[in-house]
Structure 1
Amino acid sequence: MFYPKVSIIIPVYNGSKYLREAIDSALAQTYKNIEIIVINDGSNDGSKTEMIAKSYGDKIRYFYQDNGGVASALNFGIRMMKGDYFSWLSHDDIYYPNKVEEQVNFFKKNRTDVILYTDYEYIDSESKYIRSEIIKNIEPRQFVYFLITSYPINGCTTLIPKTCFSNVGVFNESLKTTQDYELWFRLAKKYQFIHLSKTLLKSRIHYEQGTIALNNIVLNECDDLYHWFIDELSINEILSLTNDAIGLFYIKSAIALKTKGYIGAANFTLKKSLRYLFKSDVKSSLKNIYLVIYYIFCEPKITGYYYLRKLKLIKINKS
C-alpha cells in the first residue's frame, strides 16, 4: 500500500497574526499521514509566535532557531523532517483541506520522482478572496523557459520528494527573497515539474510580507539570478526546452526580462542573442532583427513585475 509520510514545513518569523490559520489548515488535511513542523526563525514578538505554536502540543513539532531567514528555516525543517515528501506552507498562507491528498494521489498513480505544483488563489489580510491564479499548462520540458519568461510558481503549492534534496541540494541561504526560484532552476535541470490543474492554496497578500517590504532587494536578487539562469543554460539544454532557434530563444527571453524590470539580466541575454542573429533561415533572421528593434524601444513598464502585481492586488483590495 502506498501511504507515504508528508512533512509540512512552516517557517515563521513574527507571524502570530496568521500562524494559527496556517497550522489549522495543515491539521485539517484529509490525508492523515503527515507531520507538521513549525520553525520559529528567531521571532522577537514577545513570545507571541512561540505561545501559539506551543498551544498545539504534540499535534505539531516545534523548533526555535536564531534568525537566519526563510531559506535557513526551511533547510532546518528539511533536516528535521521524517517524511518522504516535503510540503512548504508559509505562516500566512492557508492550504485547502485536500492539498496533500490530491498530490499524493498523483504519486500513487505515477511512481516517479517529479515536483508537483498547482494553481492557487490570493486572499487579503482578513482571509477574503481576491482572485485566482490559474497557471497555463506547461510541458515539463519547457519549465525552465517558463521560469525565465513568465512568473514563478508559488512554492507553497509544491510537493517535493525528499530524495530530490539529496541529489540537488537545499535552499540557498545567501538569498533573502529568491531562494525558491534558484532551487526550482536547479531542480528543473534534473527533475520534471508537473502542473496539477487544481486550486489547492490560499496565498495571502499583505504589506507586512517580506517580499513586499524588501522589494528593492527582490529586484536586485532577481536581476542577478536571471543572469545566472541564462548563463547556466547550455545550447543543448536550450534546444531541449523550446522549439525556437537559439537566437529567438535569447531575444524572447531578453524582452521578457526587460519587461519585468531585470535590466542587467535582459541586456546580458540580448548580447547572447546577437551572436545568433543571422544564423537561422532568412525568415527567422528577419524576425530576430524585428525583435531586437522591439527590445531597444520597449520599456520596463512593469518594473519588478511579480512583486508589483502583489502590491497592485493589495491596492485593489483596499480601495
Structure 2
Amino acid sequence: MSFIPKVSIIIPVYNGSDFLPQAIDSALSQTYKNIEIIVVNDGSNDRGATKKIAKSYGNKIRYFYKKNGGVASALNLGIKKMNGQYFSWLSHDDVYYPNKVQAQIDFLKKLKNKNVVLYSDFDLIDNTSKVFRSVRINSSAPEKFQFALIISSPVSGCTTLVPKTIFDKIGLFKENLMTIQDYDMWFRIAEKYDFIHIPKVLIKSRRHPDQGINKMSTLCSKEGNTFYTRIVSQLTPSKILKISNQKLGKFYLACTFGLYKKGYKKSSLLAFRMFLGLREKSY
C-alpha cells in the first residue's frame, strides 16, 4: 500500500514581508506534491504588506489573519485549520530545500511506527540568504531525547515533521510562552513519542537583526530559566536514570554546563546547587 500522506506546511508571519516570498516559494517548490500551504498572519502592522504578498499567491496557499498573539497562537490556528496528516513548520524568514518534505516522507516509509517526530540538520543563512554555516546535529537515542533537550539545542523547529495525531493527544503550543514554546512542546511530546534524527540538511534557518528572538532576549532568558528550572527540579532519580543513563551527580553537572552554555544561568545555578547537595549528603 502506497504511503502518500498530505503534509500541511504552516507559515506563521508577523511583519515578515521582506522574507515571506522566499519562504512561500520554497514551500511551493517542494518535490513532494501532496502538500497544502497555510500562511497565518499574526496581526502584522506593516500597512498590509504581509497580506498583499500572501494574497498574491491566490489559491496556491490558504491565508488566515488573526489578532497578534505570538508564534504559538499562529501555529495553533494553522494546526486547527490544517487538512494534512503531518505538520511541517516554516518560519516566514526561513527556507526549505526542495527535498525537505520528500526526504522525510521517504524516511517514514521505512518505519513500521510512523507516529514519530522527525528532525534534521540545517544550514544557517544571513539576511542576504548566504549560507555561513551548516549545523550537524548529534543524534540522540529516542529514550534519551529529553536529556538532550535540557543540555543542548538539538531541534530547529522548521526541520520537524509531526503527525497531526500527536497534537490531538498532547495538546497545542502553549500560547502564554513567547520564546520557548517550541522546546516546551518537544519536551511534552518526547514524554510519549520518539524523535528521530535524519542526518541531512533540509532547511535554511535565517539569522538577522530583526528576528523576534533578538528583540525579546530578556523575555527569552526569563522564560527559558523558568522552564528549565521547573524541569530540572521536578525530575525524579528514576526519571533521570531513564532519560540519561547517568548517576545523579553526573546528570546535574551536565545540566549545569549545558544550561550555562545555552544562556540560562539561573537554571544552570540550580542544577549546580543540586549537584552540591548530593555531595553534602555523601559526607
Normalised by the length of structure 2, the TM-score is 0.95
CA shift in 2, pair 1:240/1:16, >3 Å: same
- Indicate the residue corresponding to 1:240 in structure 2: 242
Aligned residue number for residue 166 of structure 1:
168
Partner of 1:288: none
Query: What is the deviation of 1:163?
Result: 0.8
Report SS of the residue matched to 1:151: coil
Asked whether the equivalents of residues 238 and 246 of structure 1 are also in contact (C-alpha less than 8 Å), the reply is yes
Secondary structure class of the residue paired with 1:277: helix
Question: Where in structure 2 are the equivalents of 1:43-62 lying within 5 Å?
Answer: 43-62=44-63
Q: Which structure 1 segments of 5+ residues have no match?
A: 286-319
Picking from 202, 216, 219, the partner of 2:218 is 216
Task: Report the more deviating stretch, 233-242 or 3-12.
Answer: 233-242
Aligned to 1:276, what secondary structure does the other structure show?
Answer: helix
1:180 is matched with which residue: 179, 182, 199?
A: 182
* Residue of structure 2 equivalent to 1:6: 7
- Bigger mean CA offset, 5-14 vs 162-171: 162-171
Q: Deviation per CA, 1:271-304, whole angstroms, max 9, x where unpaired?
A: 3323433778xxxx9xxxxxxxxxxxxxxxxxxx
Q: Counterpart of 1:94?
A: 95
The percentage of counterpart residues that share the same residue type is 53
Aligned to 1:229: 231
Q: Residue 34 of structure 1 corresponds to which residue in structure 2?
A: 35
Residue number among 150, 155, 160 corresponding to 2:152 in the alignment: 150
**TM-score of the superposition, structure 1-length normalised?**
0.85
Contact 2:117 2:162 in 1 (8 A): yes
Give the aligned partner of residue 119 of structure 1.
Answer: 121
- C-alpha contact (below 8 Å) 2:137/2:154 kept by paired residues: no
* 2:3 counterpart letter in structure 1: F
Distance 1:208 1:94, change over 3 A: same
The farther-off stretch of 255-264 and 24-33 is 255-264
1:218-267 C-alpha deviation (Å, 9 max, x unpaired): 11111111112213323222111222112221122123223433222122
Name the structure, 1 or 2, with higher relative contact order (CA <8 Å, separation 6+): 2
Output the amino acid matched with 2:191. K
Aligned: 1:106 with 2:118: no
1:134–1:33 Cα change, 3 Å: same
* 2:250 alignment partner AA: L
Query: Matches of 1:183 and 1:231 in 2, distance apart?
Result: 18
SS class of match (1:207): coil
Counterparts of 1:34 and 1:207, CA distance in 2 = 31
> How far apart are 1:153 and its partner, in Å?
1.4
- Paired position in structure 2 for 1:71: 72
Q: What amino acid is the match of 1:47?
A: G
Deviates more, 1:129-138 or 1:3-12: 129-138
Task: Report the AA paired with residue 170 of structure 1.
Answer: L
In structure 2, the residue matched to 1:305 is none
- The structure that has the greater radius of gyration is 1
Aligned residues: 281
Q: Which ranges in structure 2 are unaligned for 5 or more consecutive residues?
A: none
The DSSP-based 3-state class of the residue aligned with 2:252 is helix
Q: Is the 8 A contact 1:185 1:229 kept in 2?
A: no
Equivalent residue number for residue 262 of structure 1: 264
Partner residue of 1:250 out of 239, 249, 252: 252
